[in-house]
Amino acid sequence: MSLIKSISGIRGTIGGKPGEAFTPLDIVKFTSAYAKFIKERAGQKNRYKIVVGRDARISGEMADNLVCGTLMACGMDVVNAGLASTPTVEMAVTFEQADGGIILTASHNPKEWNALKLLNEKGEFLNAADGELLLEFAANESFDYTGVDNLGIISKKDFTKKHIESVLSHPLVDTEAIYRSGFTVVLDAVNSVGGIVMPLLFEALGVNVIKINCDPNGRFPHNPEPLPEHLTELSAMVVKEGATLGVAVDPDVDRLALINEDGNPFGEEYTLVAVADYVLSTKKGPTVSNLSSSRALRDVTEAAGQSYYASAVGEVNVVAEMKRVGAVIGGEGNGGVIMPDLHYGRDALIGIALFLSLLASSKTTASQLKKRYPKYEMAKKRIDLSAGLNVDEILEKIKNRYFQEKITDIDGVKIEFEQERKWVHLRKSNTEPIIRIYAEAPEKEIAESIADQIINDIKTL
């Protein structure tokens, strides 16, 4: 049983006691708090409008009914997008000029999980201050419900076609070149909404698609996080079918992972790198990724004569930094591509459309394309701490130990060893007594070594 409350919403496992899991009472409570937050943010209005959409996980229909009914009880009109990707719902908020949006998805978490992801009137995730205010409303249960004459109404609307049309009309998506290339892709949509939206996009681009795990029934056939170890079926099918590319998305379609024509992973860290390389070839400006993402984006950006910036981990932090510096592209190393001239959210649809545009213009294979980019390997580890230890004090001591190196402390501690082109990033968990340690270097052994070195340093403290 688990219930995690954060500034971006609430997530947890289905079944259990209120306050300890993602139960109907918790769904109603946090939806009510969100409604109060929206009313305070939007000011006094005759009608309020909220867009609601969900991925295909098994608990989605149950949660959707509760959320929509609660919003109605709070006097809010609901535009129900039904089964829709996270980026589709984000864009729908602006399409409808709504006051906000709720996405029912636990992203890459297993089927036992679900979540409320909460959006503002721009279709973007709440910032820290807004999230804290909403959590305060929920904790105090400071909300009430409207009388019978002012109940909200529900309408249903499918925004997938409009999302796809927006992607196709993006000036950097070369639809003609993609169509002429005669690409064949194998798609693994982990039996969620990607099985609906991605084939429609490929059809519109003239791409032949071979579907596996594309029945949107929420019964994930493997771990839904699109990592290489979970995509062995996809890799085998790409080779068997002689396909151009393998494409994997997570349950809510905001992350994009690719498999080369030879069955090897392109690397989810390199999804953003390749797409940014393509964007920067015609559109100049800064790029942004989070501190735990590959250095390769910085290398590609600087090779194009542009500036790279790093943000704290988390999509909302990446978006804030992108806005601050006027980035032309940004995202996260988990396969999340953000194109600000489409919308400020990770979006696998624009990600794959731009990648296919790059592949078409390059007239090469995915494996050959990958060789163009700086080679880095990443190690991801953790160290479990005894209860009661002061994690901030440990991180401060690590900073002092490596004071001669470049240190960034906007989110934990990142140490960059510039001459050796390697780095290590330490972040404390907000829910567990652990420190997560990410390291990157040109060779896997070097990345593992620097991560182990930091772990040993912590143990001595």
Decide if 3-158 and 163-370 have a common fold: yes
- Give pLDDT, residue 119: 97
If you count them, how many residues does the chain have? 461
**Which residue, among 416, 441, 418, 415, has the nearest Cα to 426 in the 3D structure?**
415
Coil, helix or strand at residue 347: coil
Residue from 8, 85, 107, 166 carrying the catalytic annotation: 107
CA distance 347 to 418: 32
192 in Cβ contact with 56 (< 8 Å)? yes
DSSP annotation of 228 = G
Contacts of 67 (CB under 8 A, 6+ apart): 27, 31, 52, 102, 104, 116
| CATH superfamily for domain 377-460 | Alpha-D-phosphohexomutase, C-terminal domain (3.30.310.50)
Fold annotation for 163-370 = Alpha-D-Glucose-1,6-Bisphosphate; Chain A, domain 3 (3.40.120)
CA distance 279 to 137: 42
CB atoms within 10 A of CB 60: 23
Contacts of 198 (CB under 8 A, 6+ apart): 187, 189, 209, 214, 247, 249, 253, 348, 349, 352
Contacts of 320 (CB under 8 A, 6+ apart): 127, 311
Coil, helix or strand at residue 402: coil
b (16+ CB within 10 A) / e for 420-431: eebbbbbbbeee
CA distance 92 to 160: 9
CA atoms lying within 13 Å on the CB side of residue 141: 5
- Give pLDDT, residue 1: 58
Laid out side by side, the sheet with 434-441 consists of 377-384, 434-441, 422-428, 413-417, 406-408
185 in Cβ contact with 212 (< 8 Å)? no
297 in Cβ contact with 287 (< 8 Å)? yes
Beta bridge partners of 287: 308, 329
With the C-alpha atoms ordered 107, 131, 71, 163, is the resulting torsion angle positive or negative? negative
**Which residue, among 118, 327, 345, 355, has the nearest Cα to 257 in the 3D structure?**
355
DSSP annotation of 141 = T
Fold annotation for 3-158 = Alpha-D-Glucose-1,6-Bisphosphate; Chain A, domain 3 (3.40.120)
- Give pLDDT, residue 142: 85
The pair of structure tokens assigned to 26 is 């918790």
Q: What is the mean pLDDT of each run of 10 residues along the chain (461 residues)?
A: 78 93 96 96 93 98 98 98 98 98 95 96 94 93 93 98 98 98 98 98 98 97 95 98 98 97 96 98 97 97 98 95 98 95 98 98 96 95 84 92 94 94 91 87 96 93 80
CA distance 433 to 308: 32
Domain ranges of the chain: 3-158, 163-370, 377-460
Contacts of 156 (CB under 8 A, 6+ apart): 79, 80, 81, 82
- Give pLDDT, residue 107: 92
- Give pLDDT, residue 147: 96
- Give pLDDT, residue 6: 77
CA distance 90 to 70: 20
- Give pLDDT, residue 386: 80
**Cα-based torsion angle of the residue sequence 55, 59, 60, 62 in order, rounded to the nearest 10 degrees:** 180
DSSP annotation of 69 = H
**Which residue, among 429, 405, 402, has the nearest Cα to 416 in the 3D structure?**
405
131 in Cβ contact with 7 (< 8 Å)? yes
Contacts of 79 (CB under 8 A, 6+ apart): 49, 50, 51, 52, 92, 96, 98, 155, 156, 157
Contacts of 364 (CB under 8 A, 6+ apart): none
The pair of structure tokens assigned to 92 is 């729908």
- 307 a catalytic residue: no
- Our CA angle for 313, 315, 320, nearest 5°, is 95
